[in-house]
Homo-oligomer: A and B are copies of this chain.
Amino acid sequence: MAYRETSRVRERKQATRQAILNNALRMLNESGFSGLQMAALARQCQLATGTLYRYFSSKEALCTAVFEYATDIEIGRVAAQLQQPQLTAPEHIAAALTTFAKRALRAPIAAWALIAEPVEPAVNHARLRYREQYATLFSRAIDDGIAQQSLPPQNSTLSSHALVGAIAEALIGPLAQQQPQHLNQTIAAAVQFCLQAITAKPYPTIFPDQEC
């Protein structure tokens, strides 16, 4: 009789996979991709290293999965800000960028890992796909703003990619050397840069006190 995976076995495997990802994400928060070691992760998960390799066939496969897991969470938060009711397009975009920036600053090592840490090509490919997803979200918001005249006419594809590049780069370079008490100003300056770019007028550097 051929072996068939019961639904209980599938569920257990799924739970183990999730536990591995959660532990890996914790390690990413502490020391980036360079600190994510298969043997140490297996110990954290109370698994044999060989068992870990049955779930993720290589370190590159694990890193890609952790990258996607972590970035899905970040994109979900940004998307939620873009869907808040009763905001104009520039308000949506400011809220989304603020959330992105605040979350990046709360977990700067993970942010560096997700945005810019030198990684294997497979993770780099995933990065490019996800940057495209962020750009698509912003592009829709910009199109809404142009239609509702809360934003001036512009090439929304270009502006959305430029927004993604600007916010990502702004949060890895200067932030690395930032004092905690200056983080709010950094967020405000990054959001100001982006909003001025798409609205073509001064944007106040007031720090919006929002949940993220």
Establish whether residues A131 and B200, one from each chain, have CB atoms under 8 Å apart when the complex forms: no
Of the listed stretches A4-12, A50-58, A88-96, A116-124, chain B binds A116-124
Establish whether residues B162 and A169, one from each chain, have CB atoms under 8 Å apart when the complex forms: yes
Residues in B neighbouring A172, C-beta threshold 8 A: 161
17 A-B pairs with CB atoms under 8 Å apart are A118-B121, A135-B173, A154-B189, A155-B174, A157-B173, A157-B174, A158-B186, A159-B189, A159-B193, A161-B173, A162-B170, A164-B169, A165-B167, A166-B166, A166-B197, A196-B196, A196-B199
Q: Which of A170-206 contact B (CB under 8 A)?
A: 170, 172-174, 185-186, 189-190, 192-194, 196-203
SS of A interface (majority): helix
Q: How far is the CA of A201 from the CA of B198 in the complex (A)?
A: 10
Given A125-B118, A165-B170, A169-B164, A158:B193 Cβ within 8 A: yes
Size category of the binding interface on chain A? 35 or more
**In the complex, A109 has a CB within 8 A of chain B:** no
Q: For the complex formed by this chain, how many copies does it contain in all?
A: 2
Please tell me which one of the listed residues B124, B158, B167, B193 contacts residue A189 in the complex, with CB atoms under 8 A apart: B158
**In the complex, A35 has a CB within 8 A of chain B:** no
Q: How far is the CA of A198 from the CA of B197 in the complex (A)?
A: 8
Q: Measured between C-beta atoms, what is the minimum distance from A33 to chain B in Å?
A: 9
Residues in B neighbouring A163, C-beta threshold 8 A: 166
Residues in B neighbouring A131, C-beta threshold 8 A: 169, 173
Residues in B neighbouring A104, C-beta threshold 8 A: none
**In the complex, A208 has a CB within 8 A of chain B:** no
**In the complex, A128 has a CB within 8 A of chain B:** yes
Establish whether residues A189 and B121, one from each chain, have CB atoms under 8 Å apart when the complex forms: no
Establish whether residues A158 and B132, one from each chain, have CB atoms under 8 Å apart when the complex forms: no
Q: How far is the CA of A194 from the CA of B152 in the complex (A)?
A: 15
Establish whether residues B158 and A165, one from each chain, have CB atoms under 8 Å apart when the complex forms: no
Residues in B neighbouring A21, C-beta threshold 8 A: none
Residues in B neighbouring A110, C-beta threshold 8 A: none
Q: How far is the CA of A174 from the CA of B202 in the complex (A)?
A: 27
Known: A162-B169, A196-B199. 13 other contacts (CB 8 A): A118-B121, A118-B124, A135-B173, A154-B192, A154-B193, A161-B169, A161-B173, A161-B174, A163-B166, A165-B167, A166-B166, A193-B197, A201-B202
